[in-house]
Amino acid sequence: MSGRTGRRSHTTEEDHRQQMLRMLDDRDIVRRAELDRFSSVRRNDDDVDVDSPCPIFDTWYMEGGADAVSRPTNFTPCELNVLWSIVRLHVTRYWNVGRGRRSQFAGKDVLFMTLAAFKHGGTWDMNAHVFLIKTPTFIKTITSFCRVLAQRVYDEWVRGKAVETNMRRLVTSGNTFSHYPCALNATDVTFQQANRPAGNMTEVMPYYSAKHKLYGLKVEVSVNPKGFAINCSQHERGNTPDISIFRNNMEFHSSMRVKSETGNQIPDEGPLREEFSREWAVLTDKGYQGLEAHLRCIQPTKGSNLPPEVQRRNENISSDRDLVENFFGRLCSLWRIVADKYRWSEDLYDDIFQVCVGLTNFHIESNPLRDTNGEAYAQRENRLRAIRDLVQRFHNSKNVQ
């Protein structure tokens, strides 16, 4: 009896084992059939990192290639990586730290978004939509990042260029101005249209430029003979005279043009050398009349029917000063945020402008200025004139009615 029970138990176990083996075989067949639905060619996903430290930048780059980086930012992936490597430590130290809610975005991603916003300008809503971010979050992120970025970019590419700008270096490298080698830099002011400020006429009119017949902001930029900006002033309201902006920025102008001991040994046959023997000159336009009584300022002579030699002098000054307009042309071609109508907060303007000037210098390092940049700036100026004429016609038509 016990023997039959033992054989039955053994048979039952064997049946169960065979049943389980068939079940496992069936699962294996199903699994193989499922895998057969997919290609056996290996895909190269080694570069895809789901835990990327900068997922926004990496997604644009991996899915769109280098073109998806350079088109929105003006820089190739390699150039952007160089830029990030220079500002990274400063950004890490001063941005997204301290008390309060921190940004969810990585620093390199915010740099990428900032460059895109500055290149294309427009409204906050438009730029936030590009990256599928809520507008209030985008504004807070870009604003706080820009304030930190401006310090590092300006120090590296603008103040750094100013330190490198000395007459001995310009002379030995053959980079002085063609007609006035005694000049260390050329200076001019750029005007940008802005929204009409809120407030009464007393508060509004300081922003109104009588020349452009538009509301806006002005900034003075100084450019060395190599085409790099070496200073930009704090912004002024649209009705501020250019010469007043220059005087408000006198700390830079006075310290920049002082001749060093080695500079005194360099031959100087330029204008006003006897009156200002301890200074190098600055080139300006006709809007700075009167400065030559206080400092070594070389500027065109005003008036019509000028003698031929005075006309030639004016042409030579304008020729050397073309570098400033070429710089403005490159600046405005790269960054619409400082070229088109400014629609953001005024208290952020200086930081934005300084970042754009510094990044333009960074761009010029590998892409030197060309005459076509000046033509681009002339197009922008003509566009401003067209806007001015359109606004005037509109107001005139209302007055007629």
21 pLDDT exceeds 90?
A: no
Which pLDDT score, from 0 to 100, does residue 395 have? 66
Q: Greater confidence, 380 or 260? A: 260
pLDDT at 362 over 50: yes
CA 284 to chain centre: 25
pLDDT of res. 9: 63
Query: What percent of the chain is modeled with pLDDT above 70?
Result: 92
CA distance 287 to 268: 26
302-331 pLDDT, tens per residue? 988 899 999 999 999 999 999 999 999 999
Please check whether residue 185 is in contact with residue 223, taking contact to mean a CB–CB distance below 8 angstroms.
yes
pLDDT at 7: 57
Contact 308, 210 (CB under 8 A): no
Query: Within 13 A of 333's CA, how many CA atoms are on the CB side?
Result: 19
Q: For the chain, how long is the longest CA-to-CA vector?
A: 138
* pLDDT (0 to 100) of residue 377: 78
Read off the pLDDT of each residue in 46-70 and give the average, rounded to a whole number: 82
- For 285, half-sphere exposure in the C-beta direction (CA atoms, 13 angstrom radius) is 17
Q: Based on C-alpha coordinates, what's the Rg of the chain? A: 32
Helix/strand/coil (H/E/C) assignment for every residue in 338-363: HCCCECCCHHHHHHHHHHHHHHHHHH
Q: How confident is the model at residue 234 (pLDDT cuts 50, 70, 90)?
A: very high
Report the percent of the chain where pLDDT is more than 90.
72
Average pLDDT over residues 266-280: 94
Q: Is the pLDDT at 20 greater than 90, yes or no?
A: no
pLDDT in tens, 155-169: 999 999 999 999 999
Res. 207: pLDDT tops 70: yes
Between residues 20 and 389, the one the model is more confident about: 389
Buried b (16+ CB within 10 A) or exposed e, 135-160: eeebbebbbebbbbbbbbbbebbbee
Pick from 288, 284, 224: nearest CA to 256: 224
Angle value at C-alpha 264, between 272 and 250, nearest 5 degrees: 55
Give the residue-averaged pLDDT of 42-62.
73
48: pLDDT strictly greater than 50: no
Comparing 120-129, 278-287, 340-349, 380-389, which segment has the lowest mean pLDDT? 380-389
CA distance 318 to 228: 18
pLDDT of amino acid 393 = 78
pLDDT of residue 374: 77
Mean pLDDT of the chain: 90
Q: What is the pLDDT of residue 376?
A: 76
Here the tokens at position 42 are 């290996």
**pTM (2 d.p.):** 0.85
pLDDT of residue 331: 97
Ordered by start, the domain boundaries in the chain are 55-151, 183-249+283-334+370-400
